[in-house]
Chains A and B, each alone.
Chain A
Amino acid sequence: MKKILLVVAVAVLYVLHQDIWFWRSPYLVFGFIPIGLFYHGCFSVAAALLMWLLVTYAWPSHLEGEVEEADTREERRA
């Protein structure tokens, strides 16, 4: 379930990248940042948060286990 939610979150963020809603708006946030640029700045922060979620809840720790196992086998052989 956790993994499905994360896959959905990635898909949603990908869709949110295609922000056609601000396409033609020259509105300035805080009087100087164009809204489209501000949106994509926030999008980058959201991407970092999503990466944190992936690292926290979907980290492929089995790969680390496999490497450690292989290292132990190698040491024993040596």
Chain B
Amino acid sequence: MIPAIVVFLYLAAVLYIGIFAFRRASSKAEAEDYFLASRSLGPFVFLFSLFGTNMTAFAILGSSGHAFTNGIVTFGLMASSSGLIIPLTIFLIGTRVWALGKKHGFMTPVQMFRDRWECSHIGTVIFVVQAVLLVPYIIIGIMGGGTTLYTISNGLVPFWFGGAIVAMVVMSYVFFGGMRGTAWVNTFQTVLFLCFGAIALIVIGVGMGGFRSAATAIQASPMASLLTRERISPYYFFSYTFIPLSAIAFPHILIFCLTARKMAQFKKTVIFYPICILAIWLPCVFLGVMANRVTDVPEIRAKQEARRVLATQGRTMEPEKRDELREQSAGDDVIMLLLHRYAPLWLAGLLGAGIMAAVMASDSQILALSTMFTEDVFAFYGGKARFGEHVQVQTGRLFIILITIFAYAVALRAPETIFELAIQYAFSGYAALSPLLVAALFWKGSTKWGALAVTVWSASTVVAVAILQSVVPAPAPGPATILWAPGGVEVLSRTPGGTAVFGFMPVVPMVIVSTLLMIVVSLLTKKPDKATLAKYFGGR
């Protein structure tokens, strides 16, 4: 129970920070103050809150779980590629969006797109697609909170109650503190989970009697492939470098870019982003791999046994049985199991708080949805002009309550795997939407019809991949099921982990076709007025 008490103390601290931010807020309840903290965040808060916003439960739980099953490839696949691509996009796109937001008062990406391409309803279509792709994050955040509290308290706090507590805490500090509260809480949380990796590594390393013997034993065993990247194909590895393109296209990240006081604030964020990723992911991935040598935790042994059965008998099993085994072998809780085994109770509580910090990253998505709804729908369709800015902020707060209740209700009823899958699709969907930003900021010739084509394509392919994967069951570990191979060329196949197009992940053709659609459709359609282009490109 001690770890659960530490986690509850942490939740109380988070709530206090949010309420404190509310007391610092402007008494006039202006939209820009509530939704963007008056564009006033300093360098430290900007770096940590932007980084924390982008790190979800997956950074700690998912990364170690993925590494437990797939080995060290997890780091190169998801972390080091993000360490290059994400700061690069913040440098190239984030700074430009910040400058345009300052100059023209934009608060959401859709506001910028509407102005840049002189469109109204096409902006609404982009809003709908962005919003739909964002909702699964909020649901999974609440589910993660419920599961973590349940595990940390050894089942004393039931899932429904843990989820409700996390939902209430997040809703409260977003409701009261707006962007300022969210940014401060994110900063606190990021510091906490940056410390998590190093402390967990030391505690578990000491508990295991050092890593040297564990690593050497894995090297000499049939599990040696976990120390290499054999389990993933180079095509799949290359495909994954397209996924981090999604980060800058996420509305909550782009909206965060608008909160910096000065453009100089971006400098530290761009430089330190890869180091922050390294500090969190490297220990978690390493511990996930090393967990395979822990022989005295029955839950870990059961996972390994399920993995073994899946590998040896999976081909002859019913798809349902395979899915069941896949779920049993999933390693998302290995790091918690290692902490239970090796950390003293009070430290397990503190580290549990670090995990909660990562799980609760849904705050900025809730705020982003509220900002988008009030600016892109309520204000755009006349609500602000009719009822005033005060009502706009109150509408935003009401929206926060409604979306949290909706997410909690869904979290109680739906299986978690559905939303985990939805998030996978969302990453590809947002990556496919990234050409919108590049075209809006760097290409005079882009048009609203090009933007519409990109948006419709991105949404349709996300739906198509989702349908395909629900209709065709995943094969057992090993060769993929070929679905379409005209003339012997493998075009479409179902792999154990998803779908492959010419051996690549779907995100590769999605981004390439998206870019081509933007170019071709824009070349065929009418460009915005010269005055609009001058606003964005000056005399260039």
Say whether A and B bind each other.
yes
User: Is A28 positioned at the interface, with any CB of B under 8 Å from its CB?
Assistant: yes
Given the interface pairs A60-B96, A67-B103, the reply to whether A17 lies near B81 with Cβ below 8 Å is yes
Q: Of B212, B230, B275, which is within 8 A of A48 by CB?
A: B275
- Within residues 486 to 538 of chain B, which ones have a CB less than 8 A from any CB in chain A? 538
In the complex, how many residues of chain A place their beta carbon closer than 8 angstroms to a beta carbon of chain B? 39
The distance from the CB of B393 to the nearest CB of chain A, in whole angstroms, is: 23
Query: Which A residues from 51 to 78 make CB contacts under 8 A with B?
Result: 51-52, 54-55, 59-60, 63-64, 66-67, 70-71
Say yes or no: B84 contacts A14, CB within 8 Å: yes
Interface contact A70-B234, CB-CB below 8 Å:
no
Q: Mark A1-32, 1 if CB is under 8 A from B, else 0.
A: 00000000010011001111011111010011
From residue 251 to 302 of chain B, which have CB atoms closer than 8 A to chain A?
262-264, 267, 270-275, 277-278, 282, 285-286, 289
Task: Take A17-B76, A24-B228, A37-B286 as given contacts and tell me if A66 and B103 are in contact as well, using a CB distance cutoff of 8 Å.
Answer: yes
| Cβ–Cβ < 8 Å partners of A40 in chain B | 75-76, 79-80
- Which chain A residue has the least Cβ–Cβ distance from B275? A48
Q: Which residues of B contact A60 (CB under 8 A)?
A: 95-96, 263
Q: Are A47 and B219 in contact (CB under 8 A)?
A: no
Q: Are B270 and A37 in contact (CB under 8 A)?
A: no
Residue B99 at the A interface, CB < 8 A?
A: yes
B229: nearest chain-A partner, CB-CB? A23
B279: nearest chain-A partner, CB-CB: A44
- A19 and B229 CA atoms in complex are apart in Å by 10
| Residue numbers in A under 8 Å from B75 (CB-CB) | 37, 40-41
Q: Which residue of A lies closest to B272 (CB)?
A: A48
A43, B76: Cα distance in complex, Å:
9
* A18-B238 contact given A36-B229, A37-B285, A66-B103, CB 8 Å threshold: yes
Complex Cα distance, B95 from A54, in Å, reads 13
Are B227 and A28 neighbours in the complex by a CB distance under 8 Å?
Answer: yes
For residue A17, give the distance in angstroms from its CB to the closest CB of chain B: 6
Tell me the complex Cα distance, A41–B75, Å. 8
Give chain A nearest CB distance to B86 CB in angstroms. 10
A37-B75, A67-B103 given; A54·B91 CB < 8 A: yes
By the criterion CB–CB under 8 Å, are B212 and A67 in contact? no
With a CB–CB cut-off of 8 A, which chain B residues contact A43? 76, 80, 83-84
Q: List 10 A-B contacts (CB under 8 A).
A: A17-B241, A18-B238, A23-B228, A26-B227, A28-B215, A32-B211, A34-B215, A36-B227, A64-B99, A67-B103
A17-B76, A51-B87 given; 18 more Cβ-contact pairs under 8 Å: A14-B241, A18-B234, A19-B76, A23-B234, A24-B229, A28-B219, A32-B215, A36-B227, A37-B72, A37-B75, A40-B79, A43-B84, A63-B98, A63-B99, A66-B99, A67-B263, A70-B103, A71-B102
Which 7 A-B pairs rank lowest in CB-CB distance, beginning with the nearest? A63-B99, A34-B227, A47-B274, A26-B227, A44-B278, A40-B80, A32-B215
